A and B are shown apart, each in its own frame.
Chain A
Amino acid sequence: DVKVTQSSRYLVKRTGEKVFLECVQDMDHENMFWYRQDPGLGLRLIYFSYDVKMKEKGDIPEGYSVSREKKERFSLILESASTNQTSMYLCASSSNREMENNEQFFGPGTRLTVL
């Protein structure tokens, strides 16, 4: 059974802290994604990666960075957390670049609160 895991379900941090959100997939997928989800705004793409050490900005990359040193792991980094980054963060992976049959498998999400 396919699986995407995220390091924490709930996280509370203080303004200015450096925050790491970890995501691991066990499906040998090439593609990995980070989204944030806010009420009324749906899912918004932050960053994605098609290969190890490769990254591309999504729609809302400001204030975030990512790291993909291994194929199965994709990390989202908040260099200096701010209160407007309080949100639900969702990681996803998929098996190829093309859209057809390109099902994205999502993790359970991390609810981050920045105080």
Chain B
Amino acid sequence: LAKTTQPISMDSYEGQEVNITCSHNNIATNDYITWYQQFPSQGPRFIIQGYKTKVTNEVASLFIPADRKSSTLSLPRVSLSDTAVYYCLVGDSQGSARQLTFGSGTQLTVLP
């Protein structure tokens, strides 16, 4: 199973760009990388998913280097409402859910 490692916490200020890196050294060929966001007292919510290079949507960008051993979630111009826990998830496209591994999560705190 591809284990993931993320920073436990990060602080930022409103309006700044935030980059959260996830390490997944044992990622397999078929694995995709997915990021979720979780607010207190709520279930996680899908943010973005990618396989290689760069993916961008209306919420975030995901950068994946050629070796795919890490990935970086980029949140542009964060606001106070982006304060949440962010999870990096690595999973097998053909396997069972047992191949899915949630990281321990990164607590992002956005300060005014």
Contact = CB atoms under 8 A, between A and B. Distances in A.
B97 A98 contact: no
Contacts of B102: 35, 42-44
A37 to B, nearest CB: 9
Contacts of A40: 104
Nearest to B91: A99
Contacts of B30: 99
Interface residues of A, number: 32
Given A45-B98, A100-B32, A90 B43 contact: yes
Contacts of A57: 98
B46 interface: yes
A40 B9 CA distance: 11
B97 A106 contact: no
B44 A43 contact: yes
> 5 smallest A-B Cβ distances: which pairs?
A106-B43, A99-B93, A43-B102, A103-B46, A48-B97
